[in-house]
Structure 1
Amino acid sequence: MQEVQVKEVARREKGRVFFRFDNGTEFTLYRSEIRGLPQAESMLLMTEDAYLPVSLYEKILTEIVGKRAKKRALFLLERMDRTESQLCEKLRQNGYPEECVAAAVEYVKQYHYIDDLRYAKQYIRYHQQKKSSQRLKMDLMKKGVGRELIEQALAEEFVSDERAQIAELLEKRHYDAAQADRREQQRMYQFLMRRGFKSSDILAVMREEHFFDEF
């Protein structure tokens, strides 16, 4: 009989039991879940260096922890839209092993509950009036969206005139060119650079509007 070795067992609050195995997999079971399993008594009393049949180990991963991971994924997506990378990371933080994370993500992808291209398009539509295309690209990459999907989303959704955006942001921040000193000019310039706008566009707008002293 094939078996996996238990390397750590920890009884935790709210009737939970943590298990770590010699293959590196970790998961937590509720006592109520354990009681529904074959060998329930031995599992409740299990200590380090005990062994678990592979068939039971796989049953737990598939029918208990895996199902719980899918429900958790659906719950997380009901609260807010996420990228595939963000969902994976959240499930890992919740203590689900990699095989259960992967299965949960594939499950929600089947029903289009996650779609990185859709996410990128929505993000661009919502933020493009305040951020440059370069800043949008950087933000989406940090969220785990692939470069090709970002480029596709930008090509389909980004319609903003970046120089017009710069002028609008200057106005919204009540920037007074007549009163601004060199320090204020530099502060505003750095603010726009952090938004991802090109230096040439920033200077062109500020000079055109007499917003910036000549270097």
Structure 2
Amino acid sequence: MRVTMLEPVGKKQIRLYLEDERYCLLYAGEARRLGLKEDMDLSEVQKNELDSMLLSRAKLKAMNLLKVSDRTKEEIRMRLRRLELPESCIEGAVSYVEGYHYIDDEAYVRNYIGYRGFSKSRLKLRQELLKKGISTELFEQIWEESAVSESDILRTQIKKRIRQKGPVTEENFQKNLAFFARKGFSIHDILEILKEYKE
């Protein structure tokens, strides 16, 4: 493989291009230690040393991210991509932390629903988890198993709103309806429960 460019990034880093393709970000000291120069052919030993170093960095970063809070596989991938690591190192790091059960998307969804499920609609939870790389299928499977009742959640949220904003009246009925509809609850359920509490 040919080193086609070493592009300075800030004061301390260098972007390495192999065969005209962006490969990774390195610290200047690492590039010197590996003896990298533009227009040189990278030996198999140097390439293996480079990949091994990048994989170690990816694993360490993944572990540090998980120290702070639980994350999904996709969240780990997204954070590692920001470091401009090769995809093989990113996948290696994800497999590493997954192998030790430090990440488990199924457990993550169960915890997420358990923790946030009492205050948010099914739709809102699904949208939030979709952004974190959780498939709709996995979410729906765990939601069904969770025995969470969306109408109970809605009822609790309506009672909370009444405590904060006052009773449901003819004047504010539409406003309340719109408020809960924006939160992703079913219009039918909102109408039924609001009518019960309407003065």
CA distance in 1, matches of 2:5, 2:28: 19
Of structures 1 and 2, the larger Rg is shown by 1
Paired residue secondary structure (1:188): helix
Taking only aligned residues, the RMSD between alpha carbons, in angstroms, comes to 2.2
Give percent identity, aligned residues only.
Answer: 29
Among candidates 159, 167, 171, match of residue 177 of structure 1: 167
Any stretches of 5+ residues in structure 2 without a counterpart?
none
TM-score relative to the length of structure 1: 0.81
Q: Answer yes or no: is the 8 Å Cα contact 1:25–1:97 preserved in 2.
A: no
> CA–CA distance in 1 between the matches of 2:123 and 2:168?
30
Q: Which residue number in structure 1 is paired with residue 29 of structure 2?
A: 32
* 2:152 corresponding residue in structure 1: 164
Q: Distance in 2 between matches of 1:164 and 1:11?
A: 54
Query: What is the CA distance between 1:143 and its match in structure 2?
Result: 1.3
| Residues 136/71 of structure 1: CA separation in 2 closer, same or farther (3 Å cut) | same
Residue 35 of structure 1: how far off its partner (Å): 4.5
Superposition map of 1:1-215 within 5 A? 3-10=1-8, 12-13=10-11, 15-22=12-19, 24-37=21-34, 40=35, 43=36, 46-47=37-38, 50-56=39-45, 58-157=47-146, 159-173=147-161, 174-177=164-167, 181=171, 184-210=172-198
Q: Distance in 2 between matches of 1:18 and 1:5?
A: 11
1:178 and 1:72 mapped to 2: Cα distance?
50
Structure 1 gap segments, 5+ residues each: none
1:133 to partner: Cα distance: 2.0
